[in-house]
Amino acid sequence: MSLVARHLEEAGLPTVVVGSARDIVEECGVSRFVFTDFPLGNPTGKPGDVEMQTTITGMALDLLERAWQPRTTAQTPFVWDADCNDDWRQHFMKVDDSNRTALAAAGDERRAAQATAKAEGTGRG
């Protein structure tokens, strides 16, 4: 997605990315970025929270208007858990002794399925 933003900017079209994967967007390098420090899935606000969605969308509009140089990042003021419970950060894509065997098996299964799909000619070229 950040690569698309860069392509549009190169063509003269101003863009702003709103996302929750800060490192991926900033490493790619975009002109304007609103960072929402939430689990992946709701970069423009929590479900049902219209006020928050309005604030975050408004921040994107603010950046379109006011950023004067590339790599301008603004972080939203919101936290996912009111008690600052950060378990979601640890939980996502977790790798430890509790799931190492299952992950290895899942990888084997996925590769086997992809090989089958390729043999049947249904794989993406």
| Cβ distance to other proteins smaller for residue 44 or 74 | 44
What secondary structure letter does DSSP report for 86? -
Cα–Cα distance for residue pair 38/42, rounded to 1 Å: 7
| Cβ distance to other proteins smaller for residue 35 or 74 | 35
In whole angstroms, the minimum distance from the beta carbon of 125 to other proteins comes to 10
User: Residue 37 in contact with residue 14, Cβ under 8 Å?
Assistant: no
In whole angstroms, the minimum distance from the beta carbon of 74 to other proteins comes to 13
In whole angstroms, the minimum distance from the beta carbon of 89 to other proteins comes to 5
| Type of residue numbered 30 | V
| Cβ distance to other proteins smaller for residue 65 or 74 | 65
| Type of residue numbered 80 | W
Burial class (CB in 10 A: 0-12, 13-18, 19+), 38: buried
In whole angstroms, the minimum distance from the beta carbon of 55 to other proteins comes to 9
| Cβ distance to other proteins smaller for residue 43 or 74 | 43
